[in-house]
Amino acid sequence: MKGLLTLILSSALTAPAFAAAPNANAPKGGNFVFNLGGEPPTVHPITATDAYSRYVQNYVCDGMATRDSETYDWKPRLAEKWEISKDNKVFTFHLRKDAVFHDGTPVTADDVKFSFDAIFEPKYEAAHLRPYYEGLTKAEVIDAHTIRFTARDLYFNNFESAATLTVIPKKIYSDIEKSKKMNRQLVCAGPYVLSKFDRGQVITLKKFDKWYGNKDAAYAGMYNFDTITMRFYKDENVELERAKKGELDYLDLRVEAFMKKTEGAPWGKTIIKHKVENSAPKSYGFIGWNFRKELFQDRSVRVALAHLLNREEMNKKFRYGMSDLANGAIYLRSEYNPGNKALEFNPKKAQELLAKAGWTDKDKNGVLEKEVNGKRTEFKFTLIYPSKDTEKYYTMYREDLKKAGIDMELKYLEWNSFLKLVDEGNFDAVTMAWGGGSVDPDPKQIWHSASAVAGGSNFIAYKNPEVDKLIDEARVEPNKAKRVAALKKVYAKIAEDAPYAFLFNDKYAFYANSSRMGMPAETFKYEIGRDYWWLKAQ
């Protein structure tokens, strides 16, 4: 019976709670206006690094394949089909013959090869892109519409690197001097053309009438707007006022804005708020303990510190109870999550663990102490953080630590100064947040001991040979089910080691849209799904 229950529960976790489908008969036309949140310094496909430019490129540029918003399966884009060799190291893509770039020239295997090679050509100044593609050794043109990538090793994400490579026209971007000046122009093969980029004002996209997908049933109900206008408002108040005036059709909301700043008309009338749950991985915040410091090398101490973090109260006070308490280094609803219990606020248990580790307040001065290397040491450390917004959380934490006899000092640092200390490993405890990452995660960057180098993401220097071994095995495992099993073990072990005190996972995505919008569903499984929206007839 217990086995059955587990089975039902796990299938409930993995089966989609909803299945949204695009509306194939969605009306076409209209102008969709939304706030990008900031201005991309450049939209150049090779040199741009920021998130804003990526947003623009998502509409304007195409790769060979993309993920389905509902199933997360690979869907053809510029490639109509592909083959993966048995040893999982060679990927052959067959390009569609009706794909053209925005200048009208056809997309060929030559362009794909050029797009790949340009990343490794020093003149293009794309050193920052190289780490993403280093798993691939070469791209070979087989014929005008066939391209073959060879991978260096068996890494499971190699296919993704090749499939999502932004394809740009060789004819235009091969002239380096000309290409260098194209910071506000973008020539690709995507469904929209970048028609205007006014610094400080606006980016306008226009539907590309020669896009191959316009006539293909596979894209019916997608990209319904004639034009898309992107604004660059940074200030939340301005954004909300603009939306109230009807000047925005979509805006992301923070939980505070959702709960506090959007009450009364016109909210709910001309502008509709949404609180949606989907399976897209959400970020988590953490307090990381520096393993280089003697103080944090004892697991009992780390677990005790996690037990002193009153997340329930913080969630209630500062997050309107809208967050989940993270149970480890992977999104709570991810199929990779081992389902272990999150560490609860429990000062009594913490006290026991600390006592077990030898920390007691013998001199009754209110601070715990212990003999370390023959020297009496008090339990004191400093927490560094780069964002003032989060100070309230740690002030609360400091009070609870104080009651338990631990003296924590808070130290705010400007981002670059903060990062310098983090990179050098020169800190006691650190707080930050990791983004949700991929649906199919690779923990190597953060948790492998090989990443515990200067400038590496394993800046707390967490080292567990067993975790290393499992990660190494999982990375070369092409079978997803086996990879899930291996990584579940990894995440379970990490949670057990408590290298971070994990904070929260966002449970919902909050957004608002104008009542002009038509949508097949409030959300898709792995994204909001704005590519399927349309403008209602007025």
Partner 1 sequence: MIVYLIRRLLLMIPTFFGITVVTFVLINLAPGSPIEQKLQAIRFGAAGGGGGGGGGGGINTRGDTSVNEEVIEALKKQYGFDKPLHVRYFIWLKNLTRLDFGESFTYQEPVIDVIKSKFPVSLQFGIASLILTYLVCIPLGVRKAIKAGAAFDRITTILLNLTYSIPPLVLGIFLIVVFAGKLNMFPIGGIQSDDYESLTSMGKLWDRVHHFVLPLICYMIGGFTELSVLMRNSMLDVIKSDFVRTARAKGLSENIVIFKHALRNALIPIATGLGGFFGAFLAGSLIIEQMFNLDGIGLLGYQSVLSRDYNVIMGLTFISSLLLMFGRVFSDIIYVLIDPRIDFK
Is 87 an interacting residue with respect to partner 1 (CB under 8 A)?
Answer: no
Q: Which of 268, 455, 466, 469 binds partner 1 (CB under 8 A)?
A: 455
Is 130 an interacting residue with respect to partner 1 (CB under 8 A)?
Answer: yes
The single-letter DSSP state of residue 342 is P
What's the CA angle centered on 267, arms 263 and 271, to 5 degrees? Answer: 155
Q: Which of 208, 233, 500, 524 binds partner 1 (CB under 8 A)?
A: 233
DSSP string, 315-339: HHHHSTT-EEEP-SSS-TTSTT---
Nearest to 494 by CA among 307, 329, 297, 291: 329
DSSP string, 6-65: HHHHHHHHHS-S------TTPPP--EEEEE-SS--S---TTT--SHHHHHHHHHH---SE
Nearest to 82 by CA among 90, 73, 91, 74: 91
Least Å from the CB of residue 393 to partner 1: 6
**Binding-residue pattern over the window 397 to 426 for partner 1, x denoting contact by CB under 8 A:** ------------------xxxxxx------
**Which of the residues 22 through 81 are near partner 1 (CB under 8 A)?**
39, 41-42, 44, 47, 49-52, 54
With H, G, I as helix, E, B as strand and everything else as coil, classify residue 94: strand
Nearest to 237 by CA among 215, 249, 222, 253: 253
Strand partners, 76: 65
Report the greatest alpha carbon distance in the chain: 81
Least Å from the CB of residue 7 to partner 1: 30
**How distant, in Å, are the alpha carbons of 14, 198, 328, 338 from that of 332?**
12, 41, 8, 9
How many binding residues for partner 1 (CB under 8 A)? 85
**Which of the residues 314 through 333 are near partner 1 (CB under 8 A)?**
318-319, 323, 326
**Which of the residues 238 through 257 are near partner 1 (CB under 8 A)?**
238, 241-242, 244-245, 247, 254-255
Residue 294 vs 344, nearer CB to partner 1: 344
Least Å from the CB of residue 220 to partner 1: 28
491 contacts 336 by C-beta, under 8 angstroms: yes
Stretch that binds partner 1, among 57-65, 212-220, 268-276, 432-440 (CB under 8 A): 432-440
Stretch that binds partner 1, among 9-17, 82-90, 484-492, 502-510 (CB under 8 A): 502-510
Is 279 an interacting residue with respect to partner 1 (CB under 8 A)?
Answer: no
Residue 242 vs 292, nearer CB to partner 1: 242
In the chain, the N- to C-terminal Cα span, in Å, equals 56
Residue 62 vs 442, nearer CB to partner 1: 442
Q: Which of 83, 103, 125, 466 binds partner 1 (CB under 8 A)?
A: 125
Least Å from the CB of residue 127 to partner 1: 4
Is 110 an interacting residue with respect to partner 1 (CB under 8 A)?
Answer: no
Is 218 an interacting residue with respect to partner 1 (CB under 8 A)?
Answer: no
Least Å from the CB of residue 307 to partner 1: 18
Report d(CA 158, CA 150) in Å as an integer.
9
Report d(CA 158, CA 493) in Å as an integer.
26
Structure tokens at 423: 């990179």
Q: Which of 251, 308, 446, 521 binds partner 1 (CB under 8 A)?
A: 446
Beta strands in 386-498 (DSSP E): 407-412, 429-434
Report d(CA 148, CA 90) in Å as an integer.
7
What totals of helices (H) and strands (E) does the chain contain, helices first? Answer: 17, 23
Residue 146 vs 514, nearer CB to partner 1: 514
Strand partners, 255: none
Report d(CA 413, CA 383) in Å as an integer.
10
Is 390 an interacting residue with respect to partner 1 (CB under 8 A)?
Answer: yes
Q: Which of 150, 195, 283, 300 binds partner 1 (CB under 8 A)?
A: 283
Residue 138 vs 215, nearer CB to partner 1: 138
Residue 206 vs 244, nearer CB to partner 1: 244
With H, G, I as helix, E, B as strand and everything else as coil, classify residue 483: helix
Residue 25 vs 415, nearer CB to partner 1: 415
**Which of the residues 175 through 214 are near partner 1 (CB under 8 A)?**
180-181, 183, 199-202
Is 445 an interacting residue with respect to partner 1 (CB under 8 A)?
Answer: yes
Report d(CA 461, CA 468) in Å as an integer.
13
Is 456 an interacting residue with respect to partner 1 (CB under 8 A)?
Answer: yes
Stretch that binds partner 1, among 86-94, 131-139, 166-174, 339-347 (CB under 8 A): 131-139
DSSP string, 414-444: -HHHHHHHHHHT--SEEEEEE----SS--TH
Q: Which of 119, 308, 495, 503 binds partner 1 (CB under 8 A)?
A: 503
**Which of the residues 287 through 316 are near partner 1 (CB under 8 A)?**
none
| Burial tier of 230 (Cβ tally within 10 Å: 0-12, 13-18, 19+) | buried
Q: Which of 77, 113, 444, 530 binds partner 1 (CB under 8 A)?
A: 444
**Which of the residues 132 through 171 are near partner 1 (CB under 8 A)?**
132, 135, 155, 157, 160-161
Is 497 an interacting residue with respect to partner 1 (CB under 8 A)?
Answer: no
Least Å from the CB of residue 183 to partner 1: 6
Is 476 an interacting residue with respect to partner 1 (CB under 8 A)?
Answer: no
Q: Which of 150, 340, 377, 387 binds partner 1 (CB under 8 A)?
A: 387
Is 128 an interacting residue with respect to partner 1 (CB under 8 A)?
Answer: yes
